[in-house]
Amino acid sequence: MINLDADHLLFIEPTGAPSATPTIDHTTRKLVGAWRARRASDYAYGGFHECTGEGCRAVSDDSDYWIDGLMTNSLALHYLAFHRSEVPQSELAKIAALTAAPAEPTEEELTTDVLNGYEDEDSGLDDL
């Protein structure tokens, strides 16, 4: 589901393959800091979001989350790190406005949370 309104963050549907290595920069670190302070929605769903990128296997958990009043899901960090070229400028502006301090992402935040335990052999995270 694509939703770029002012109340949602990174509800996008990439079409291209994920990058071989994640983009780790100030923008990614800013989202990581905000993600760590997230609040889970009061609702859980019976399903999950799947990344729509070509050949991508990333899936979300069954919840939505609130970050600085913006609704997002557990694929947000994946989209930003592995599909950066497809993230609209409007979404990057929302991340820039987040109040959390930047934080260094862990391998688990970049893989386990978004892949729900599936191993991503081509993630490139071993090179970080």
Tens of pLDDT, residue by residue over 20-59, are 999 999 999 999 999 999 999 887 666 677 788 898 888 8
Residue 38 is part of which domain span?
A: 26-117
Number of domains in the chain: 1
Alpha-carbon distances, residue 100 vs 52, 69, 126 (angstroms):
28, 12, 27
The full DSSP string for 60-77 is: --SEEEEETTEEEETTHH
Is residue 80 domain-resident? yes
pLDDT for position 108: 86
* Residue 102: inside a domain: yes
Q: How far apart are CA 44 and CA 89, in angstroms?
A: 29
